[in-house]
């Protein structure tokens, strides 16, 4: 199959809407990462998503909607879910709510709940409007690879496997949405993202974070969010995170670099002087830039032939929690404290 790449303009959106209505899958831009879209209420179209991604069938998908009215046709919304939608939609927040029977089993991997998100990206909103569909879309990468934050990443992973990618340029946020279980009285963050626990607590009074958001699941432990069971976001080169006081971290990383060929160092811009003479990738000036760049840099490190990536741990507050969640998973929890 040849994969077409069309600009995400009016003509491209009309083509993409036609493809979705015909049961095909399409790569689409969102403000977080690129998604691999299909008609959420067409089980055969949704099956094509799992096939193209090589995604395990036990990992449910997010359904994208225009807003609350469309969400209400798919799930039984709790007062908590409604207040979070009012505060953060459209935007990078996914809410898990009890599903209604119209939602096919394949979308929710058989769970009694469905994950819903109203994206803010204008092209994705235009596509929702033009197609009139609810759109199921996981990140448009091969399962396990870093999420795609540019159309080139979608093509690198899925060229020849899908008919169409809408090119909306690089994604603004760069990390996947915050996933929140809103089935109870208190919000529970299953996957941290750009809508932080602090922001959610300001609306809901409090916000819990699932412990499994920051550590590996224990043997036999049930995953609240099935996606947490699988290795994620991983570059081909092994990644190690180093945590501790800045001077000791730098000394440790420099020592490791001296022992091995082909090591690359991934740090914030302000930390580059500590690694002069080494092969470095800059995450940028602040955590927002780091989120925007992280997945692209992991892909770049592979392309540059890095044999191992060493990254400084980041503070786990605000957006840092989401960054550390992705880094820890990309490292398969190889975190060294010094
Ligand atoms: O930003 C995003 O969320 C992107 C864009 C395309 O919208 N999508 C995305 O989808 O990251 P995906 O499939 O890569 O991640 C969805 C996450 C997975 O961890 C999955 O297990 C979880 O949401 N999830 C989906 N349905 C769920 C449910 N009913 N209960 C708990 N977790 C659920
Ligand atoms: Mg994903």
- Count CA atoms within 13 Å of residue 43 on its CB side: 9
Virtual torsion, Cα 272, 329, 115, 195, nearest 10 deg: -30
Cβ atoms within 10 Å of 298's Cβ, excluding its own: 26
- DSSP-assigned letter for residue 89: -
With 80 as the cut, is the pLDDT of residue 280 above it?
Answer: yes
pLDDT range class, residue 221, cuts 50, 70, 90 = low
With 90 as the cut, is the pLDDT of residue 192 above it?
Answer: yes
With 70 as the cut, is the pLDDT of residue 126 above it?
Answer: yes
Cα–Cα nearest to 148, from 130, 169, 118, 123: 169
With 70 as the cut, is the pLDDT of residue 229 above it?
Answer: no
Average pLDDT, stretch 169-174? 98
The reported pLDDT for the residue numbered 333 is 93
User: 178-181 and 188-191: which strand pairing?
Assistant: antiparallel
Closest residue by CA, ligand 1 atom 30: 225
Q: Is 289 helix (H, G, I), strand (E, B) or coil?
A: helix
Question: Is residue 241 a contact partner of residue 336, using CB atoms and an 8 Å limit?
Answer: yes
The reported pLDDT for the residue numbered 214 is 76
Question: Is residue 173 a contact partner of residue 92, using CB atoms and an 8 Å limit?
Answer: yes
**Ligand 1 atom closest to residue 32's alpha carbon, by position in its atom list:** 1
The reported pLDDT for the residue numbered 309 is 97
- DSSP-assigned letter for residue 166: E
Cα 182 to ligand 2 centroid, rounded to whole Å: 20
**Ligand 1 atom closest to residue 228's alpha carbon, by position in its atom list:** 19
Q: Supply the Cα-derived Rg of the chain in whole angstroms.
A: 20
β-strand partners of 26 = 37, 164
**Ligand 1 atom closest to residue 176's alpha carbon, by position in its atom list:** 1
Using one digit for the tens of pLDDT, what is the confidence trace for 15-44? Answer: 999 999 999 999 999 999 999 999 999 999
Question: Is residue 83 a contact partner of residue 206, using CB atoms and an 8 Å limit?
Answer: no
Closest residue by CA, ligand 1 atom 19: 227
Q: How far is CA 200 from CA 87, 90, 116, 189, 286, in A?
A: 9, 15, 16, 9, 21
User: 62-64 and 113-117: which strand pairing?
Assistant: parallel
Residue from 157, 227, 329, 330 to probe ligand 1 pocket by mutation (most atoms less than 8 Å from CB): 227
pLDDT range class, residue 212, cuts 50, 70, 90 = confident
With 80 as the cut, is the pLDDT of residue 312 above it?
Answer: yes
The reported pLDDT for the residue numbered 231 is 65
Cα–Cα distance for residue pair 165/26, rounded to 1 Å: 6
Closest residue by CA, ligand 1 atom 10: 138
Q: Is 104 helix (H, G, I), strand (E, B) or coil?
A: coil
pLDDT range class, residue 222, cuts 50, 70, 90 = low
Average pLDDT, stretch 115-144? 97
Average pLDDT, the chain: 95
With 80 as the cut, is the pLDDT of residue 116 above it?
Answer: yes
Q: Is 336 helix (H, G, I), strand (E, B) or coil?
A: strand
Show the domains of the chain with their CATH numbers: 4-214 (3.90.870.10), 239-337 (3.40.50.11030)
Average pLDDT, stretch 146-168? 97
Cα–Cα distance for residue pair 241/246, rounded to 1 Å: 13
With 90 as the cut, is the pLDDT of residue 331 above it?
Answer: yes
Residue from 38, 60, 96 to probe ligand 1 pocket by mutation (most atoms less than 8 Å from CB): 60
Average pLDDT, stretch 85-93? 98
Cα 57 to ligand 1 centroid, rounded to whole Å: 13
Ligand 1 pocket by C-beta < 6 Å: which residues? Answer: 30, 32-33, 35, 59-62, 92, 94, 96, 108, 111, 113-115, 117, 137-139, 176-177, 179, 190-191, 225-227
**Ligand 1 atom closest to residue 64's alpha carbon, by position in its atom list:** 7
The rounded Cα 139 to chain-centroid distance in angstroms is: 6
Cα 61 to ligand 1 centroid, rounded to whole Å: 5
Dihedral sign computed on CA atoms, order 162, 164, 169, 173: negative
Q: Supply angle C-alpha 54, 60, 66, rounded to 5.
A: 110
């Amino acid at each position: 199959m040849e994969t077409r790449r069309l600009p995400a303009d009016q003509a491209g959106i009309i083509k993409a809407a036609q493809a979705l209505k015909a049961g095909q899958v399409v790569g689409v831009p969102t403000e977080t990462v690129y998604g691999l879209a299909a008609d959420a209420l067409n089980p055969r179209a949704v099956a094509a998503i799992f096939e193209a991604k090589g995604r395990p069938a036990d990992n449910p998908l997010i359904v994208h909607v225009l807003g609350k009215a469309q969400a209400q046709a798919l799930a039984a919304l709790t007062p908590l879910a409604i207040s979070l939608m009012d505060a953060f939609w459209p935007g990078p927040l996914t809410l898990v709510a009890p599903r209604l029977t119209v939602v096919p089993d394949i979308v929710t991997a058989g769970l009694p709940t469905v994950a819903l998100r109203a994206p803010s990206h204008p092209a994705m909103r235009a596509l929702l409007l033009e197609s009139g569909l609810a759109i199921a879309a996981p990140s448009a990468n091969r399962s396990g690879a870093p999420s795609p934050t540019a159309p080139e990443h979608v093509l690198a992973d899925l060229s020849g496997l899908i008919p169409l990618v809408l090119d909306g340029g690089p994604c603004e946020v760069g990390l996947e949405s915050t996933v929140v279980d809103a089935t109870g009285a208190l919000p529970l963050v299953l996957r941290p993202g750009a809508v932080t626990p602090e922001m959610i607590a300001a609306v809901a009074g409090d916000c819990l974070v699932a412990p499994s958001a920051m550590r590996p699941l224990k043997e036999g432990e049930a995953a609240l969010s099935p996606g947490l069971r699988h290795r994620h976001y991983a570059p081909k080169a092994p990644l190690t995170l180093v945590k501790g006081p800045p001077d000791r971290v730098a000394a440790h990383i420099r020592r490791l670099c001296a022992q091995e060929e082909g090591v690359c160092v991934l740090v914030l811009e302000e930390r580059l002087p500590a690694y002069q003479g080494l092969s470095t990738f800059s995450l940028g000036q602040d955590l927002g830039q780091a989120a925007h760049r992280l997945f692209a840099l992991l892909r770049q490190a592979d392309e540059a032939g890095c044999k191992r990536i060493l990254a400084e741990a980041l503070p786990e507050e605000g957006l840092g929690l989401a960054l550390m969640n992705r880094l820890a998973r990309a490292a398969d929890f190889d975190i060294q404290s010094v």
